[in-house]
Amino acid sequence: MQIICPIHAKERMEQRNITQKQIEKAIKDPDVRMPTRHKQRKRIMKKFSPKTLDVIYEPRGKDKIVLITAMWLREEDREVKG
């Protein structure tokens, strides 16, 4: 799978100490999938103990995605509330 990282997403990854490998792992094997306001976008979460990575991306065909943003969740945001 090809992950396209626009400049904005790369800057955020650097600021937040998120690696490309963490993004790939989260997308390939997410712990949680959530809806977004934009129908084309996907939101997933992956726990990297003790932190949780929140990733928003947009699929482009079968083997390509565009990373929108990624962030570590705060402690109070880690649990998904129904």
Q: What is the CATH number of the domain that holds 68?
A: 3.10.450.530
Question: What pLDDT, in 10s, does the model give residues 34-51?
Answer: 999 998 999 999 999 889
Q: How many structural domains is the chain composed of?
A: 1
Cα separation, 32 vs 82, whole angstroms:
12
pLDDT, residue 82, reads 46
Residue 54 lies in domain: 2-75
pLDDT at 13 over 50: yes
Q: Do residues 71 and 56 make contact, with C-beta atoms less than 8 angstroms apart?
A: no
In angstroms, the CA 18 to CA 58 distance is 18
* Among candidate residues 13, 43, 45, 5, the one with its CA nearest the CA of residue 29: 45
Mean pLDDT of 11-38: 95
In-domain check, residue 66: yes
What does the pLDDT read at residue 3?
A: 94
Q: In the numeric block, which tokens belong to residue 69?
A: 């943003």
Would 80 be classed as within a structural domain? no
Question: If you average pLDDT over every residue of the chain, what do you get?
Answer: 90
Whether 77 shows a pLDDT value over 50: the answer reads yes
**Within-domain flag for 81:** no
